Structure 1
Amino acid sequence: MMQEQINGEEEVSPETPPLLGAPRTPLPNLVTDIEGIASVVAALKSGSGDIALDAERASGYRYSQRAYLIQIYRRGGGLHLIDPAALAESESEVDIREIFAPLNAVIQSTTVVIHASSQDLPCLREVGLNPLQLFDTELAGRVAGFPRVGLGALTESLLNLRLAKEHSAVDWSIRPLHHDWLIYAALDVDVLLDLKDEIVRVLIERKKLEWAIEESNAALEMSPSVGRKEPWRRTSGIHQVKRPEQLAIVRELWATRDEIARERDIAAGRLVNDRALVACALRAPHSITQLSGLPAFKKDTQRWWHALERARANPSVPKPPASDGPPAHIRMWRERSPRAYARLTHAKARLAECAAAVEVPVENLISPDTVRRFCWQDPPSGGRSESEVAQFLAERGARAWQISFTAPLLQAIESETEPLQAPESEPTALTESAEHTEVSELS
């Protein structure tokens, strides 16, 4: 929306929702000690209903994904900002989870409202905050059918309020925390309960409330993601590296970077970016002087040089073990299993139609990985029954509402042997970009 400046002040057009510049609940003092936690617990107990919860991390700045600020709000119980880093420092002899135990007891007594819980639950659990009942407003917005489900977009469309965005990418590990940052962070929980109420109203109107509850329950039960066995193979730009001895350099540089980044708690990409790792591997410096001539490796040159020495001592790079899953790239489906490819094209078409009909993004209707795995498996003689397909989906985490829509569709496409004509815009990869091409295709 176009905005004009008059006398140095922003004039907002009538169509633009008003800016919420400060929380509607008074901004509290930052909690940095155990006494403050006790006050928060007492205040929350005096309130009632759901609890809004949010956390700020220093992603892109720090190696760890710890919480550097926790925001809490409950109607009648106030708004609270907690600094877990300061708590850990001031009470260094006490386990942080023990410090948060009284607060966790309050949180576990009710429904916790979080926006995009997959981002915040790991760091909240790290300090001992482990909700037992969850309502995820981002997931609920997807199920409801809203085209934009960011917190700001939903707040505008449902509450007719704009949230400030200027501090969305700051380094939350900086101390002291700026006052403006605290205002920005408080806004997230200040609107969250009102937002939940509005989303629930829409879900009830569209007969989707149970779907959203199932999605939030699944998010709460989701296991932490397991890291790749050889994460260095995902280095951006690795497709430029052709020779095994160069790949060995990427492997050892990646491991050294990860080690240094962990030691210093700095994001690996801020220490040395992927482009520099690949450039060093392609150049393959033969002396520490040559290595120090590369700007990214002027610091800690001795450690980087040891990485190069290890690469030269072990230049072989075996291919990664074959995956039991389907191929990543669509062209490999065509080549390796034309019938599986045919099933996939029909499944994608049917699921897209269904998603449009129920007004849910297709990736939320059913996991794309589950669809690929289903289509890749050759069906048994005579095919699978709908109940067998439903069991396959349930074993892979599909929710009851998802199964009710997708099991009949997937059962119906099992017998397809001729692919649908792919649209010209069809991506060449189903799961990965060319930038992250696996080494198995390069070596």
Structure 2
Amino acid sequence: MRFSLVDDPTTFHSAATALAAGCGPFAVDTERASSFRYDDRAFLVQVHRRGAGTFLIAPEGHRDAVRSTFAPVLNGADWILHAAGEDLPSLAALGLYPGTVFDTELAARLAGFERPNLAAMVHEFTGVTLDKGHGREDWSATPLPGEWQEYAALDVVHLNDLAEGLTELLDAAGKLDAAAQEFTHLLSLPPTPVKSWRDLKGLSTVPSGLGLEIARTLWEYRDTRARRTDTSPHALLSSKVLVEIARSQPRTPAELARVRGFPARRRGAVDKWFDVLSQAYHVSPTRWPAAAAERDDNPPSKSAWQRHHPQSWERFVAAREALAELAGSLSIASEVLLQPALLRKVVWEGVPGDTDSVARELLRAGARPWQVDAVSPVTAQALRGK
């Protein structure tokens, strides 16, 4: 397999010229390093086009040049990606935007494959076995080892074959229009919101008042330090441990060291993080953050829903089971047939158990028309208890 690594403006122009002369869609993928670096930016962009070849674009240090060189060629064109939602944000950060998308992972799920990962799909449609042993590497490293480069190139060279094979399957199953709606929906998704300490998983288990102040203080210190050093925040202190510290509120370095998961053996970690923790203890209670107000239109947690709203919970369970049965009959993953969050929202808002009402509420919540047509009748029936 032939491919070219391009990592400077001169080779960028050569690659862009070759890609422009090719034909058909662009097969695109990225390699990121969020386990090692502060953000989820792309450190490698793989592009393959029939008649042009395969190019591995290394943008670090030349991101503006990547944008100015490749945007005129790639932007507005037809792209093929696998699990596009993982790659589109980092590509957008480089100023690269598709005109249309064919997502082979999503297409495989619509087609009924239980294992829609790239390696399984490539083997299914081409008979080629991919070595998928480098997915968790530090792709910000330079120079990239040759075997890593080959691994990255293989992520795109078979995407055209996958898209063509999956198109035939979806067309035969009458699912091509549903796929088109899903692909269009991918392009309409808003940018990934900026994270804050309020987004910490498990924060709802932290006591209000001082606990929230500890969480905020630790998160803000971690974020500032991670941004300054271009390090993954979780490599400094995992969010799970951060929340546990806020929950347990250790008062001495020894107590901090005993918090489950805390990197006590890391040199200087106890003293450094206890200094940060101490800052929270010295903040006046009048400046502690208030607990986040719960919105009435958001479903409660599973346990709270079951405990405080048992009748509504029973309606949700009935609807969920009905959709799972329908998904099985259509050979579509249940979460693709209708995202669980949409079902929870519709049931929680107490929509009447008739098809028209369910359909209107699903559309308002963001379901695609094909989903609404498929699930509204069985959801309404389940909500009526019949």
Q: Which runs of 5+ in 2 are unaligned?
A: 258-262
Mapped pair 1:138 → 2:105: yes
Mapped pair 1:309 → 2:300: no
Q: If the length of structure 1 is used for normalisation, what is the TM-score? A: 0.78
Cα distance, 1:317 vs. partner? 5.4
Distance 1:135 1:279, change over 3 A: closer
1:399 maps to a residue whose letter is R
Mapped pair 1:261 → 2:233: no
Cα distance, 1:208 vs. partner? 1.2
Cα distance, 1:221 vs. partner? 1.2
Question: Could you tell me how far apart the structure 2 residues matched to 1:52 and 1:58 are?
Answer: 21
Cα distance, 1:306 vs. partner? 4.3
Q: If the length of structure 2 is used for normalisation, what is the TM-score? A: 0.88
Q: Which of 344, 358, 363 in structure 2 is aligned with 1:394?
A: 363
Structure 1 segment 26-425 matched on structure 2, within 5 A: 26-28=2-4, 30-88=5-63, 96=64, 99-227=66-194, 230-231=197-198, 233-234=200-201, 239=205, 244-274=209-239, 276-277=241-242, 280-281=245-246, 282=248, 284-286=250-252, 294-296=264-266, 298=268, 301=271, 305-315=275-285, 316=288, 318-379=290-351, 383=352, 385-416=354-385
Give the secondary-structure state (helix, strand or coil) at the position aligned to 1:162. Answer: coil
Are the aligned partners of 1:253 and 1:308 in contact in 2 as well (CA < 8 Å)?
Answer: no
**Residue correspondences, number:** 379
Give the secondary-structure state (helix, strand or coil) at the position aligned to 1:49. Answer: strand
In structure 2, the partner of 1:19 is: none
Question: Could you tell me how far apart the structure 1 residues matched to 2:268 and 2:350 are?
Answer: 54
Q: CA RMSD in A?
A: 2.9
Distance 1:314 1:110, change over 3 A: same
2:114 maps to a residue whose letter is P
Are the aligned partners of 1:252 and 1:311 in contact in 2 as well (CA < 8 Å)?
Answer: no
Question: Could you tell me how far apart the structure 2 residues matched to 1:215 and 1:362 are?
Answer: 15
Cα distance, 1:409 vs. partner? 2.0
Question: Could you tell me how far apart the structure 2 residues matched to 1:346 and 1:246 are?
Answer: 38
Cα distance, 1:397 vs. partner? 2.0
Cα distance, 1:214 vs. partner? 1.3
Cα distance, 1:299 vs. partner? 5.2
Q: Which has the larger radius of gyration?
A: 1
1:402 maps to a residue whose letter is Q
Distance 1:331 1:280, change over 3 A: closer
Question: Could you tell me how far apart the structure 2 residues matched to 1:210 and 1:278 are?
Answer: 44
Give the secondary-structure state (helix, strand or coil) at the position aligned to 1:155. Answer: helix
Question: Could you tell me how far apart the structure 1 residues matched to 2:327 and 2:82 are?
Answer: 23
Cα distance, 1:328 vs. partner? 4.2
Question: Could you tell me how far apart the structure 1 residues matched to 2:194 and 2:281 are?
Answer: 23
Are the aligned partners of 2:200 and 2:239 in contact in 1 as well (CA < 8 Å)?
Answer: no
Give the secondary-structure state (helix, strand or coil) at the position aligned to 1:134. Answer: strand
Are the aligned partners of 1:44 and 1:74 in contact in 2 as well (CA < 8 Å)?
Answer: yes
User: After the TM superposition, which of the residue ranges 137-146 and 225-234 deviates more from structure 2?
Assistant: 225-234
User: After the TM superposition, which of the residue ranges 53-62 and 322-331 deviates more from structure 2?
Assistant: 322-331
Identity %: 30
Are the aligned partners of 1:288 and 1:301 in contact in 2 as well (CA < 8 Å)?
Answer: no
In structure 1, the partner of 2:260 is: none
Higher helix share: 2
Question: Could you tell me how far apart the structure 1 residues matched to 2:245 and 2:268 are?
Answer: 12
2:283 maps to a residue whose letter is A
Distance 1:208 1:127, change over 3 A: same
Question: Could you tell me how far apart the structure 1 residues matched to 2:130 and 2:150 are?
Answer: 11
Instruction: Give a deviation string over 1:413-437, Cα, whole Å, max 9, x none.
Output: 3333x9xxxxxxxxxxxxxxxxxxx
Question: Could you tell me how far apart the structure 2 residues matched to 1:351 and 1:113 are?
Answer: 30
In structure 2, the partner of 1:434 is: none
Are the aligned partners of 1:69 and 1:172 in contact in 2 as well (CA < 8 Å)?
Answer: yes
Cα distance, 1:36 vs. partner? 1.7
Question: Could you tell me how far apart the structure 1 residues matched to 2:376 and 2:195 are?
Answer: 30
Are the aligned partners of 2:353 and 2:384 in contact in 1 as well (CA < 8 Å)?
Answer: no
1:389 maps to a residue whose letter is V
